Amino acid sequence: MMGLYRVEESVPLSERVFQLWIRAPHIARHAGAGQFLVIRINEHGERIPLTISAVKGDLVRVIFMTVGKTTTQLATLGAGDTIRDIVGPLGKPTEVKAYGTCAVVGGGVGIAGAPIIARALRGKGNRVIGILGARSAPFMILEDEMRGSCDEVLVATDDGTMGRKGFAADLLREVIAREHLDATWIIGPAIMMKVTSEVTRPLGIRTFVSLNPIMVDGTGMCGSCRVMVGGKTRFACVDGPEFDAHQVDFDGLMSRQRMYVDEEKRAMEHLHAGQCGAGR
Ligand SMILES: Cc1cc2nc3c(=O)[nH]c(=O)nc-3n(C[C@H](O)[C@H](O)[C@H](O)COP(=O)(O)OP(=O)(O)OC[C@H]3O[C@@H](n4cnc5c(N)ncnc54)[C@H](O)[C@@H]3O)c2cc1C
Ligand code: FES
């Protein structure tokens, strides 16, 4: 069946990370920093949420890592291919205000969502310090774009093959030791967001994290994205995805992320066997 959204460009950015520019004028017109899309490649596919990483005219950009069936299928699309459904922009946009000095911290593929937030904050007159962390140099993405979007950018890799040897949390600690921060955004794997947000907690620095629980409909109907924030149940798709980092129950989030591991494994096995089913 003919899809409705045309892929204009597909580029590998690093090992297992891909960038797609997709023509979606009505989404591009309304998209804000911090929001996301729900994508279904074809009528038999499962829906997956991906952050809106950039907007250019009628085009929206997504950047994703191949971790399972749908992201692996998405990585096979090239210019001219089409995507069946895209819903968005979803979620609440980033709270962009004049804070003063802000840090925007991206870890791994979470860096995908960092430049659009940095640019929005800078557009409000904030001084923005970008902090990027990746496992190793081949996994670092969007460094140049972050340099163009921030006043200063600091880079770390776990193995020291690019920038400082260490973690984004170490660089954030150094920034806080040298100057006052008014607000911080952290986007990355749940464990990275948990550890990194502990750096700002003792100083009471306002800190936002962009949560990535399992999502199905993305519209607040199914409850699969529920997370505990400040002791209350919140739905990341409609109440978030950005929340006050110091209120988030990260252990609960991580345990719910592992809920479908067996189903996800089976879906990948079917994909490899050439029997793509209808998803979970
Ligand atoms: C608001 C939001 C924004 C996101 N933005 C990005 C992005 O910009 N780039 C990117 O690479 N990834 C992003 N993710 C994660 C992405 O949605 C999952 O990697 C994707 O759904 C995996 O689908 P799959 O079929 O390839 O893998 P699966 O086989 O379904 O799962 C493989 C792994 O991904 C995790 N996962 C599965 N489904 C989801 C889901 N719906 N949400 C979160 N994690 C899931 C599982 O825990 C598992 O470890 C985002 C998630 C959320 C909630
Ligand atoms: S994804 Fe269904 S309620 Fe949020």
- Tell me the best of 48, 214, 219, 229 to mutate to test the pocket of ligand 2, counting ligand atoms within 8 Å of each CB and taking the most: 219
**3-class SS at 253?**
helix
Longest dimension (CA), the chain: 57
Radius of gyration of the chain (CA): 18
- For residue 221, which ligand has an atom nearest its CA? 2
Distance CA 217, CA 137 (A): 35
pLDDT digits 0-9 by tens, 48-96 = 999 999 999 999 999 999 999 999 999 999 999 999 999 999 999 999 9
Report pLDDT for 19. Answer: 97
Residue pair 156/164 in contact by the 8 Å Cβ criterion: yes
Where is 199: in which H helix or E strand?
Answer: helix 190-200
What is the structure's pLDDT at 31?
A: 97
> In the chain, which residues have pLDDT < 50?
1-2, 275-280
Q: Residue 271: what pLDDT?
A: 66
Q: What is the distance between the terminal CA atoms of the chain, rounded to a whole angstrom?
A: 21
Give the helix, strand, coil percentages of the chain, each rounded to 5: 30, 30, 35
Separation of alpha carbons 68 and 83, rounded Å: 18
The secondary structure of residue 109, as a DSSP letter, is G
Query: Per DSSP, what are the bridge partners of residue 59?
Result: 23, 56
Query: Who contacts 231 (Cβ-Cβ below 8 Å, separation ≥6)?
Result: none
Judge if pTM exceeds 0.85: yes
Pocket of ligand 1 (CB under 6 A): 36, 48-51, 62-65, 67-71, 109, 112, 212-215, 241, 257, 264, 267
265: helix, strand or coil: helix
Judged by DSSP in three states, 141 sits in coil
Query: Minimum-distance ligand to the CA of 236?
Result: 2
pLDDT of 260: 64
Alpha carbon of 252 to those of 53, 132, 213, 224, 248: distances in Å? 27, 26, 10, 13, 9
Q: What is the pLDDT of residues 151-165, one digit of tens each?
A: 999 999 999 999 999
